[in-house]
A and B are shown apart, each in its own frame.
Chain A
Amino acid sequence: MSLVTDTLIDDRAAASRAADFADVRDYFALLKPRVMSLVIFTALVGLVRAPAELHPVLAFAALLCIAVGAGAAGALNMWWDADIDARMTRTMRRPVPAGRVTPGEALAFGLVLSAGSVLLLGLFVGLLAAALLAFTIFFYAVVYSMWLKRSTPQNIVIGGAAGAFPPMIGWAAVTGSISLEGIVLFLIIFFWTPPHFWALALLKKEDYARAGIPMLPNVAGDGETRKQILIYSFILAPLGVAPALLGFAGLAYGAVATGLGVAFLALAFDIYRRESGAAADAAARRLFAFSILYLFLLFAILLVEPMFG
């Protein structure tokens, strides 16, 4: 047998073995379910707060398409990043680096779900929402994963836009337009992303260094990262209150957003003034954990506020 044929059969056998080892949960993991849950939640807020009516069945279908589209972007990201995922403790057990799903399968899975989710969203609710979803997938898979992530410490600043689009897509699914309110929701997530990820990057910089990803602490140092976290927190805190100031959220939202914003700033300042050691790590861990709660509470109040008049 020729070497080429041998290699082909070996490759096919290896691919087949890997494919047969994949469980349903591996394909589910390719969709990044934790990111997806945040996407579903924020898109739902966009759907609920938009000033028009959408039939519940269509709203559910739209939400499903947005969730699957976000998941597809996650699968494409895992296909592209399998080499660096294998070098980081946080990501080395993902299906592709662990060898349970072949890169080709992850790519096909991501592409099919991307095309399907965009096409169906366009058919179900409208072209603008579908175009925004397509752009979000492109932005996450190509602009962030393929271009920014490995080339600039501003990767998560610009790439954060991908995670900020879902409420705007939800809004566009209902109204068929982009409005100031949708943009404000976008901006809240956009400016929330850098302090959230940089707090994590301060704790995981060895991991990022091993993978060769130029996160801000690795490139500019911890001091600059802490300063940037504080600057972005100063922008985020007033933006968090903006929905109440602009009149599309109520007093309860305004009060809670103010309190949460002050707490966010206090934790960011705590990171800023602690330069090293266990106390600095603890401060970063606190802000990282609080930032998740912050975004969840802001959007949860936006979601339930209309129910209480």
Chain B
Amino acid sequence: MSEKPDGIILTEEQRRRRRNRSIALGLVLAALALLFYAVTIVKLGPSIMSRPL
């Protein structure tokens, strides 16, 4: 058990694909945040600020 398994070394292409996946995931999350914002405004309208505490 003395030898350590070699780490996985990504090729340039694999790095590029991982980066693309990360960017796509970021864009999807940003779009979701925008969608939640828009739907909240539409559903609550002007009453969004006037809720009882």
Out of B1, B10, B18, B42, name the residue touching A57 (CB < 8 Å).
B42
- Residues on A with C-beta less than 8 A from B38 are 57, 61
Chain A residues within 8 Å of chain B by Cβ, number = 17
Classify chain B's interface size: 10 to 19
Known contacts A20-B10, A61-B35; is-contact A55 B42 (Cβ 8 Å): yes
Q: Indicate whether A57 sits within 8 Å of B8 (C-beta atoms), given known contacts A21-B17, A24-B20, A27-B21.
A: no
Cβ contacts B8-42/A at 8 Å (1 or 0 each): 10100010011011001000000000010011001
Cross-interface CB contact of A23 among B10, B17, B39, cutoff 8 Å: B17
**Cα(A64)–Cα(B39), bound, Å:** 13
In the complex, what distance in Å separates the CA atom of A124 from the CA atom of B8?
43
User: A123: nearest residue on chain B (CB-CB)?
Assistant: B39
Q: Is the interface of B mostly helix, strand, loop or mixed?
A: helix
- Judging by beta carbons under 8 Å apart, are B42 and A58 in contact? yes
Q: Is B52 an interface residue when CB atoms closer than 8 A count as contact?
A: no
Cβ of B46 under 8 Å from chain A: no
Question: Are A21 and B14 within 8 A (Cβ)?
Answer: yes
Interface assignment of A1: CB less than 8 Å from any CB of chain B: yes
What does the 1/0 interface line of A2-33 toward B look like (CB < 8 Å)? 00000001000100110011111001000000
Please report which residues of chain A, range 50-79, place their CB below 8 angstroms from some CB of chain B when the two chains form the complex. 55, 57-58, 61, 64
Chain B residues with a Cβ under 8 A of chain A = 1, 5, 8, 10, 14, 17-18, 20-21, 24, 35, 38-39, 42-43
20 A-B Cβ contacts within 8 A? A13-B5, A13-B8, A16-B8, A20-B8, A20-B10, A20-B14, A21-B14, A21-B17, A22-B17, A23-B21, A24-B17, A24-B20, A24-B21, A27-B21, A55-B42, A57-B38, A58-B42, A58-B43, A61-B39, A124-B39
